[in-house]
Amino acid sequence: MNLSPIEPSILVVEDEQDLASLLALHLSELPARVQLAHDGHSGQQLALSGRWDVIVLDLRLPGIGGLDLCRAVRAQSASVPILMLTARSSELDRVLGLELGADDYLTKPFSVLELQARIKALLRRAAHGAKAEAPDDDPARIEAGALCVDRMQRRAWLEGAEIMLTPREFDLLWHFASHPGRVFTRSELLATVWGYGHDGYDHTVNSHINRLRAKLGDERTDANYIHTVWGVGYRFEAAP
């Protein structure tokens, strides 16, 4: 007997009910099971009590705001991917959202195909993790200086203390650590780590690298691990 694959569960927290219904319609085409919440309080209750493969979160919500909701989800789970929806003018909100642990964001208005592509990329990486992106002969663990990164556990330690990483941060760190000394442009990182390539989203890469650097104790001008190659991109190299 052939069993149908289990459809992923997606929570959409969006107070504009017409938009929420439209999102549910198109996300169900992936296919996926979609649950809607129209305010921050019900969204938080569903987000913290259910098991979700992706959470789509609008930042401007009645009741509990999107940033507070993102913070609450991250306090409970570092693994569930979060895609934020923001107004085009709210650059500060996008930065804060990424700093709080969102994996990606879309600015309104956005295309349905763009949304589906982003969700597929999040689902693919959540389902397969770094193992799916790595050859079979890749190491299960990398040690670089005081840093240790474990691909199978999807965990990292610095000087013996565990670093709490979001799924995207771990993917980014593993990608860097797997290619020491190699310089990557932002576009290359976006295509390889995020799973898609679009002009205009360099800020997504920058925000994640800045947050990852902070967790590694790196300073922009005195980095131990992630070094800036001015005018090109970034490279990973552990300080001796």
Is 149 found in the same domain as 66? Answer: no
Domain span at residue 225 reads 134-236
Distance in angstroms (rounded) separating the CA atoms of residues 56 and 16: 13
1 in a structural domain: no
Identify which of 88, 113, 124, 57 has the alpha carbon closest to the alpha carbon of residue 200: 88
Burial of 77: CB neighbours in 10 Å, binned 0-12, 13-18, 19+: middle
Distance in angstroms (rounded) separating the CA atoms of residues 238 and 240: 6
What are the distances in angstroms from CA 225 to CA 13, 100, 148, 202, 228?
37, 22, 12, 20, 10
State the virtual CA torsion across 92, 106, 124, 174 in degrees, nearest 10: -30
pTM for the model stands at 0.69
59 in a structural domain: yes
pLDDT per residue, tens digit, the chain (240 aa), is: 344 468 899 999 999 999 999 999 999 999 999 999 999 999 999 999 999 999 999 988 999 999 999 989 988 887 788 999 987 666 667 767 777 778 888 888 889 998 998 898 888 877 655 344 444 556 889 999 999 999 888 899 999 999 988 878 898 999 999 999 999 998 888 888 877 655 556 777 888 898 899 999 987 677 899 999 998 999 999 876
Q: Which of 76, 102, 128 is the last residue of a domain?
A: 128
Is 124 found in the same domain as 40? Answer: yes
92 in a structural domain: yes
Number of domains within the chain: 2
